[in-house]
Amino acid sequence: MRKYLILLLPLLLTACVDDSASYSVDNGPSTHALSVHRTQEHFWSDAVRVELILSHLPDCQRRLVLEQMPAEDVEIELYSSGDDVWTLRSGKQTWQVETQTCTQFAEAKGEPGELVGVFRDEGGKLTFAAAVAVPAGPATPPGGTEAPAVAVPAQAQDAAPAAPAAGAASTAGAAPAQ
pLDDT digits (tens, 9 = 90+) for 152-175: 333 333 333 333 333 333 333 444
Q: Does residue 96 carry a pLDDT above 50?
A: yes
Nearest to 117 by CA among 129, 126, 99, 101: 129
Q: Rounded CA gap, 106 and 114, in Å?
A: 21
Kindly state the average pLDDT of the residues 55-75: 91
> Which tops the pLDDT comparison, 132 or 160?
132
Average pLDDT score over residue span 32-44: 90
Domain boundaries defined on the chain: 13-129
More confident residue, 24 or 72: 24
Q: What is the pLDDT of residue 134?
A: 64
CA distances from 40 to 51, 136, 143, 148 (A): 12, 41, 57, 53
pTM of the model: 0.66
Can you give the pLDDT at residue 93? 92
Q: Is 72 left (phi over 0), alpha (psi -120 to 50) or beta?
A: alpha
Strand partners, 79: 87, 115
